[in-house]
Amino acid sequence: MTVDAERINALYRLCHEEKWSLRKIGRELRMARKTIKKYLACPAAGRGAPKPRTTKLDAFKPLVRELLEKDPKASAVVIAQRLEPLGYTGRLTILRAYLATLRQALRPRRAFLRIESRPGECFQVDWGHFGALDYDGDRRKLYAFCLVECHSRRLYVEFTHSQTLETFLRCHVHAFRFMGGVAAECVYDNLASVVAERDGRIVRFNPRFLAFAREYGFYPRACNRAAAWEKGKVERGGIRYVRQNFWPLRTFTGLSDANGQARQWTGEVANRRIHSETGESPDDRFRPEALRPLPQLDADYRDTVLARVHKDMRLRFDGNRYCVPPRYVGRQLTLKADSSSVTIYDGEHEVARYVRSWHRGRTFGAERFEKELLEERPGAQRTRAQQRLVAFLGPAAQSYLEGLARSDRSMTRQMRELLALIRRYGPEAVAAALAKAQAASAFGADYIANILLQESHPRPEQPALQLRDPRLSELATDPLSLLTYDAFILAQRNEP
């Protein structure tokens, strides 16, 4: 009988701690007294050694090892082709599994020296890719900039949507401010932002990055190719640690939210934990006084582009359109952007400023500057037909057109008919008829045409009717406008 570990532990507790008899233990655990004695004498008595499994590959393993030593890159398919003529009938899966184990065993092991830096001696810097953030269907790639102070393992993390040189430099400045100074040396891999060209150990650094390093007083050092262990502190304690400890089970509404959560995590977790290698928390081990002081610089490391303003007062940047005042149409302006804002300049003069949007296809500032254009040029919002009517009939035509727009009539057809009336009767007659129609709230080209028709064929005046009773001639009456009747009749005709 084989007894599991849980029952063996219960057996020991009841016998040695509770001082139960073997008979009572047997009744409780449903075990024979002979079995109880056996496990009390030797707890592992019932555990037999596992029987080794035999496979179809066992007889061929020495040959597989020999073939792999000849060519470590030989695939399972190629080796199977060598084994099948010798009688191998097993599957490729078991061969692949054995090759993976064998390659691990045959891989040469390299020894490395653990190098500990003095306080303030070295920063290690690296990028990591973390998928993408979604902005209502617009996806933006997400990157993490990590900087580690090597002595304390203190970590700075910042998420971005780009890896441009300007973004890289801004992240450096933010990290230096977070650390409170600059280390003597910064270590990188062969990033294009850092290394312009390399031939073996001869490195030509990016001139702009080299100028940045000179301004902040640190020496840049590039790792050898395929030598990630040369900056292992940021590889393991930066990118990998962020990926394994910060990233899982989190959601973000945007870039600012991701950076807000990262700041909270570094302050409460990453830099407060007891580090497995140093035995101290990074914050306690950190020595800010050992860093070089930050220079008093007012450098601008925003993304900068020159853009020409289109006729619609817009200039384009990063998939969006930003509006400027109408007086800048056709001119070339300077646009500068960081992760939080987009600012447009004319030389040194600030023209407009917007909050940075990570959506695409959006237009910003249109209502503000189009309103300014309409104030400068009231005719800008009129169509060509409206402009012609206003030119012929004067400002009164605009208010009549606004009333016409509130009706359910086709504006295009009504304006076409009004222009035809102007050609037939002249602008003065149409303007007078328009004033009468507006006074009666009769909006429509047919009302204007009826007024013009009546006025072009005046009726002969009839002599006054002589009443027999003179008192009837003195009755006071309010004359009614015939336009009221005309409007009523035309409305009846237009009804379906």
Model confidence pLDDT, tens digit, residues 258-307: 999 999 999 999 999 999 889 999 999 999 999 999 998 878 999 999 99
- Band of residue 225 on the pLDDT scale cut at 50, 70, 90: confident
Portion of the chain with pLDDT greater than 70, in percent: 83
| Run of H or E including 335 | strand 332-337
pLDDT for residue 45 is more than 80: no
pLDDT band at 454 (very low <50, low <70, confident <90, very high): confident
Alpha helices by DSSP H, listed for 407-481, are 411-425, 427-439, 445-456, 470-473
For 11-57, give the DSSP string: HHIIIIIS---HHHHHHHHT--HHHHHHHHH-TTTT-PPPPPPP-TT
Of 16-20, 87-91, 354-358, which range is least confident? 16-20
Does 212 have pLDDT greater than 90? yes
149-162 average pLDDT score: 96
Across all residues in the chain, what is the average pLDDT? 85
Q: Of 173-182, 221-230, 411-420, which range is least confident?
A: 221-230
Rounded Cα gap, residues 303 and 162, in angstroms: 11
Instruction: Tell me what the mean pLDDT of segment 92-121 comes to.
Output: 81
Q: Where are the domains of the chain?
A: 5-41, 58-106, 122-290, 303-376, 382-455+481-494
Q: How far apart are CA 281 and CA 314, in angstroms?
A: 52
Q: What pLDDT, on a 0 to 100 scale, did the predictor assign at position 151?
A: 94
Answer whether residue 49 shows pLDDT above 60: no
Residue 116 has pLDDT above 90, yes or no: no
Distance CA 45, CA 373 (A): 95
Poorest-pLDDT segment among 212-221, 306-315, 334-343: 306-315
Residue 290, CA distances (Å) to 85, 115, 157, 192 in order: 69, 18, 21, 30
* pLDDT of amino acid 406: 74
122-290 placed in CATH 3.30.420.10:
yes
Better-scored residue on pLDDT, 3 or 202: 202
Residues 360 and 357: their CA atoms lie apart, in Å, by 8
Phi/psi for 317 (5° steps) reads -155, 125
For 457-472, how does the pLDDT look when each residue is reduced to its tens digit (9 = 90+)?
Answer: 655 556 666 667 766 6
For the ranges 169-183, 354-368, 409-423, which has the lowest average pLDDT?
A: 409-423
d(CA 322, CA 377): 21
pLDDT higher than threshold 90 for residue 404: no
Q: Is the pLDDT of residue 384 over 70?
A: no
What pLDDT does residue 417 have? 86
Q: Tell me the pTM.
A: 0.61
